[in-house]
A and B are shown apart, each in its own frame.
Chain A
Amino acid sequence: LEDNSRFRPEVVIYFAAADEALLPAVLAGLEEQSVPWRSAPEQGPAGDLAGRAARESLLNVGLGISGGGVVLHLAQLGQDIPLFSGRPDSPEKARAFGENAGRLVKGLPLVPIEEPPAGNGPGDLARLIAQSIARVLADYQVFGR
């Protein structure tokens, strides 16, 4: 019997087996938003897992959990520019990643995620700087007061 999961509209979550403890909180965020998902253990850095998950998701939304970090990715974004990445230190913060994945699918405004970016090999510093600049620009121009 062929696996037809690729044809179901789902958010895809790839997680490193060692980080399975973070999974329930992330899934709770998706469940409260009533958005369908599938998850599977995989190996690799969180950013790579998230990028691949997003590209394999019919909903174009993927999450990667690895090395203590969670990354939320959108298939339309470049592999190196995930939407959100962080190292959640509480279930609430991990849940926000799942909630935002659900909100992306449903077209609802996202909840703020304030986390340092998760480690995903070289290029981290540049990304951190780029994100900080983007945030400052956003604070001053886009969000107004």
Chain B
Amino acid sequence: LKLVAGIDIGNSTTEVALARITSDGKKEFLGSGMVRTTGVKGTVANIRGAVLALEDAASNAGVRLSALNQAYLNEATPVIADVAMETITETIITESSMIGHDPATPGGRGLGVGTTVDYRELSECSPGQKVVPVFDRTADFAAAAVSINEAMSRGVLVEAAIMQKDDAVLLVNRLNRVIPVVDEVSRVEKVPLGMLAAVEVAETGRSIQTLSNPYGLATIFDLTPEETKNVVPIARALTGNRSGVVIRTPSGDVRERVIPAGSLTFVGKTGRLQVSVDAGAAAIMAAAEKAFPLQNVEGEAGSNVGGMINRIRTIMGELTGEEPQSVSIQDLLAVDTMVQTSVAGGLAGELSSECAVAIGAMVKTSRLPMEQIARGLARELGVTVEIAGVEAEMAVLGALTTPGVEKPLAVLDIGGGSTDAALIRKDGTVSSIHLAGAGDMVTMLIDSELSLNNRELAEEIKRYPLAKVESLFHIRLEDGTVQFFDHALDPGLFARVSILKDGGVMVPLPTRHSLEKVRMVRRQCKEKVFVTNALRALSKITSTGNIRSIDFVVLVGGSALDFEIPAMITGELARHGVVAGRANIRGLEGPRSAVATGLVLAAKT
């Protein structure tokens, strides 16, 4: 009778499967353990976590750890991945022409065109003059109304108003004639005076029509066809807003420029292939596909993407102790994304959507120092610790214990850094592959597309479903169901889109995005990375590139526990006639413990 343990040290968790080997060589699984991996995977800092996971498994199995006879450690895949992003377009406003400002409560409605004047000079304006007074923080709405009414009664054509404070509705309610008023212009002092301005406010529930139309702008500002081409970014930035302001200054301009992002060179076995980054993710991936299998990827020196590739190399060099120049990138995933950036030269924190390319890269390092870990662990436990088998093969062995599967079977392990796949064919041969792009990349995409600038929050958006707090006593979950509370919720949660964490903890999002928008971004980011990489991995792992030749695909690892990723992948692979789903190791462990179980199963008795 022997007590053995399989230990799988992963990037985020360390898992243990504990089994008894009976005298006739049968293996009986007794229990499993799991803890967070201590330290960076593949370093001696992992030993502490391994011991903790063993203790966890022993207590779950009801045995003493001192009874352990032998432990098996996986040959961890020496793969390190990193992600980066580069914006490839940029909107610049020169000389303050305001765009895209969208306050919550603008006042009045309609379109007003006139010359901007300081409100203190309203009394000096002459009859017939078309003006747009500008009110800074010092102006009181009641006094503002009096001064506008007075000017109007003198025949001054006050066509619209711009305000710094949130007073637009209050002002319009006190005017003798309704004019469009835009408020909450934070940097109102930068509004140029004496310039032609157009202010448009749409009725409740509508969006502005004239300022979001290039020809509307051309009509107001008397633009030439050439100039009309240049105002397209303004019109685009205002599309969908309830209000907007455009001011024309002599040399003022809004330009959308393409940042020279540089090019990537894929070094394959047979040659080199260069592709420009601003051609987009599809072109980059097509080039990567042509150059497969990759030997290395180079970025154009002096360009943005060159800097990005260098950063990835440097970080990976630090992790592996190699010179950055000698780090070679073996896979790359490029994804098109949008970045919300504040407009350079804007007046009220206006945002514009810029195109960006996110890139995940993966390097294989020299063998990780698993022997050191094994020796340290053996000392700690007083038993022999054997490095047994390649991670991919062990994962397949473990995955085969899922009820309802048979060879040929593929295992898909989408972790934080890389997407790993292994395939066992009918004849028992196993092959495996590692691709760039996984959970960390999804987090980065969510962070930038929702302009959160908060990786931890983006990570939580990725992991948990959303809810909208509809009253102080109930929330509506993203699937439409309603949950009631006995006690009033915190007023700070009221009407907010929140993340619904385990245990009912709600985290409100500090953004104005609707629940639908956040959900759509979350799901699209997951599809762009997880579904794309699932297909990429499975087609590469078959010798023919034909996913249909695989009968069964099981998902293991952390992402298999995600609340929506397995369903997305199941759905996509069903279209290829492949059965795919979350693993259920040994019929009870779910997607956990595949490698640890495989290690025990592979052990010689």
Nearest-CB residue, chain B, relative to A60: B471
Q: Which of B526-550 contact A (CB under 8 A)?
A: none
**Cβ–Cβ < 8 Å partners of A74 in chain B:** 472, 488
A28's partner among B170, B460, B473 (CB-CB below 8 A) is B170
Q: Which of B490-546 contact A (CB under 8 A)?
A: 490-496, 505-508
Contact, CB under 8 Å: B494 / A110: yes
| Tier of interface size on chain B | 20 to 34
B456 in contact (CB, < 8 A) = yes
**Shortest distance from the beta carbon of A60 to any chain B beta carbon, whole Å:** 10
Q: Mark A30-57, 1 if CB is under 8 A from B, else 0.
A: 0111100000000000000000000000
Contact, CB under 8 Å: A109 / B173: no
CA distance A145 to B456 in the complex (A): 9
**Cβ–Cβ < 8 Å partners of B490 in chain A:** 134, 138, 142
Nearest-CB residue, chain B, relative to A27: B170
User: With contacts A142-B493, A142-B508, A144-B507 known, is A81 near B104, CB below 8 A?
Assistant: no
Contact, CB under 8 Å: A34 / B493: no
Contact, CB under 8 Å: A31 / B492: no
**Cβ–Cβ < 8 Å partners of B506 in chain A:** 142
Q: Mark B458-493, 1 if CB is under 8 A from A, else 0.
A: 001000000000111100000000000000101111
Contact, CB under 8 Å: B505 / A141: yes
**Cβ–Cβ < 8 Å partners of B104 in chain A:** 108
CA distance A141 to B490 in the complex (A): 11
B508's partner among A32, A112, A143, A145 (CB-CB below 8 A) is A143
| Tier of interface size on chain A | 20 to 34
B166's partner among A32, A109, A138, A143 (CB-CB below 8 A) is A32
Most buried by B among A81, A103, A108: A108
A15 in contact (CB, < 8 A) = no
B135 in contact (CB, < 8 A) = no
User: With contacts A32-B169, A109-B494, A110-B495 known, is A76 near B488, CB below 8 A?
Assistant: yes
Most buried by B among A31, A103, A109, A110: A109
Contact, CB under 8 Å: B170 / A110: no
A58 in contact (CB, < 8 A) = no
B82 in contact (CB, < 8 A) = no
CA distance A35 to B170 in the complex (A): 12
B72 in contact (CB, < 8 A) = no
User: With contacts A77-B472, A77-B488, A144-B507 known, is A32 near B493, CB below 8 A?
Assistant: no
Q: Which of A86-141 contact B (CB under 8 A)?
A: 103-104, 107-110, 112, 134, 138, 141
A104's partner among B105, B166, B494, B508 (CB-CB below 8 A) is B494
**Cβ–Cβ < 8 Å partners of B495 in chain A:** 103, 107-110
B141 in contact (CB, < 8 A) = yes
**Cβ–Cβ < 8 Å partners of A18 in chain B:** none
CA distance A23 to B506 in the complex (A): 35
Most buried by A among B141, B168, B492, B505: B492
CA distance A28 to B507 in the complex (A): 31
**Cβ–Cβ < 8 Å partners of A145 in chain B:** 454, 456
Contact, CB under 8 Å: B473 / A31: no
**Cβ–Cβ < 8 Å partners of A144 in chain B:** 456-457, 460, 507
A83 in contact (CB, < 8 A) = yes
B102 in contact (CB, < 8 A) = no
Contact, CB under 8 Å: A143 / B492: yes
A143's partner among B105, B173, B473, B507 (CB-CB below 8 A) is B507
A142's partner among B471, B472, B507 (CB-CB below 8 A) is B507
**Cβ–Cβ < 8 Å partners of B505 in chain A:** 141-142
**Shortest distance from the beta carbon of A85 to any chain B beta carbon, whole Å:** 12
CA distance A28 to B471 in the complex (A): 24
CA distance A107 to B496 in the complex (A): 9
B169's partner among A34, A77, A134 (CB-CB below 8 A) is A34
**Cβ–Cβ < 8 Å partners of B493 in chain A:** 142
**Cβ–Cβ < 8 Å partners of A28 in chain B:** 141, 170
**Shortest distance from the beta carbon of A79 to any chain B beta carbon, whole Å:** 13
Nearest-CB residue, chain B, relative to A77: B488
User: With contacts A32-B167, A77-B472 known, is A142 near B492, CB below 8 A?
Assistant: yes
Contact, CB under 8 Å: B170 / A76: no
CA distance A143 to B501 in the complex (A): 12
CA distance A64 to B18 in the complex (A): 66
Contact, CB under 8 Å: A83 / B169: no
A14 in contact (CB, < 8 A) = no
CA distance A111 to B333 in the complex (A): 42
**Cβ–Cβ < 8 Å partners of A142 in chain B:** 490, 492-493, 505-508
Contact, CB under 8 Å: A76 / B472: yes
CA distance A109 to B170 in the complex (A): 20
**Cβ–Cβ < 8 Å partners of A107 in chain B:** 470, 495
Give me 18 A-to-B residue pairs in the complex whose CB atoms sit less than 8 angstroms apart, sorted by A's number: A28-B170, A31-B170, A32-B166, A32-B168, A33-B105, A74-B488, A76-B473, A109-B494, A109-B495, A109-B496, A110-B494, A110-B495, A142-B490, A142-B492, A143-B508, A144-B460, A145-B454, A145-B456
